[in-house]
Amino acid sequence: MNKIVLITGATSGIGLVCTRRFAANGDRVIITGRNKERLEEIRRELVEKGARVLALVFDVRDRQQAKALVEGLPAEWKEVDVLVNNAGLALGLEAEYEGNPEDWDEMVDTNIKGLLTMTRLVVPGMVARNRGHVINVGSVAGDAAYAGGNVYCATKAAVKALSDGLRIDVADTAVRVTNLKPGLVETNFSNVRFHGDRERAAKLYQGIKPLTGDDIADVAVYAANAPEHVQIAEVLILATHQASGSVIVRK
């Protein structure tokens, strides 16, 4: 059965590829992000291919704006079957005692509080309907800290804890919860982390074939379409020559 899938952070990276994959699967997709022009460009691209797509422009850090738009969804879009909490970012690689407090705020507000906001807005409807699936995009960084990762790693550890906690909270329903934990993925992620320093971002992927957004989207779509009695609770996805968040063999 085709689903209604809501994806946050859909304008680039993993979120964009997930959007295209779910749309190609025949699902109706609600895409969200801060960039109105980019969202409209993606919407038009997919509609031209026959997909049904609705774009909502908001920042997950703005709880009131998110609430107004999600609660104001048209009737035919209200019953969200799959929530992909993808919006997130890393900023900086400084030592914790030298970090930028503004970067800390943005990571915590997006990666943790934004995820909580969307969960709070969408999951009650899933529980009431006794069906639904929450897919949180966590990270290998949530398993163990690495040099310079400090606050980012903490936010992704929180994603794991929040995923596990939600799975417990909905265990008496048919709602499923999945935590995807990618390793090194070549997207715009590193460019954002280094505040637009593309040369520094490119060095992160030298000597290794990293994952792509498609690799993560494959797992997300698989999890969402597993049989109803199967809950893909957590998946760690690494490049072949990556053993953990901090062990990467470059050749």
Find, among 156, 161, 155, 116, the residue nearest to 140 by Cα. Answer: 156
Kindly state the tokens that stand for 100: 């930028």
Contact at 8 Å (CB) between 57 and 50? no
Which segments of the chain are extended strands (E)?
Answer: 4-7, 28-33, 53-57, 82-85, 132-137, 175-182, 234-237
- Cβ-Cβ contacts under 8 Å for 1 (sequence gap 6 or more): none
Active site residue 205: no
As given in the structure block, the two tokens for residue 197 are 């320093």
Average pLDDT rounded to a whole number, residues 27-41: 97
Q: Give the pLDDT of residue 42.
A: 98
Q: Identify the DSSP state of 109.
A: I
Amino acid at 86: N
Contact yes or no for 31/21 (Cβ under 8 A): no
C-alpha torsion angle, residues 36, 42, 45, 48 (rounded to 10): -70
**Buried (b) or exposed (e) across 172-200, using 16+ Cβ within 10 A?**
eeebbbbbbbbbbbbbebbbebbeeeeee
Q: What's the pLDDT at 84? A: 98
Q: H or E segment at 38?
A: helix 36-47
- Per the CB < 8 A criterion, the answer to whether 216 and 17 are in contact is yes
Could you say which of 97, 152, 205, 222 is catalytic?
152
The residue that leads in pLDDT, 236 or 197, is 236
Q: Is the pTM of this model over 0.85?
A: yes
Q: Indicate the pLDDT class of residue 170, thresholds 50, 70 and 90.
A: very high
With a cut of 90, say whether residue 237 has pLDDT above it. yes
Domains and CATH numbers, the chain: 4-184+212-237 (3.40.50.720)
**Residue at 125: amino acid letter:** G
pLDDT score for 34? 96
pLDDT-based confidence at residue 123 (cuts at 50, 70, 90):
very high
The band of 193, judged by pLDDT with boundaries at 50, 70 and 90, is confident
Mean confidence (pLDDT) of the chain? 95
Measured between alpha carbons, how far is residue 142 from residues 59, 116, 173, 236, 246 in Å?
A: 23, 17, 27, 10, 12
pLDDT, greater one: 203 or 61: 61
> What is the rounded average pLDDT of the residues 131-147?
97
- Report pLDDT for 203: 76
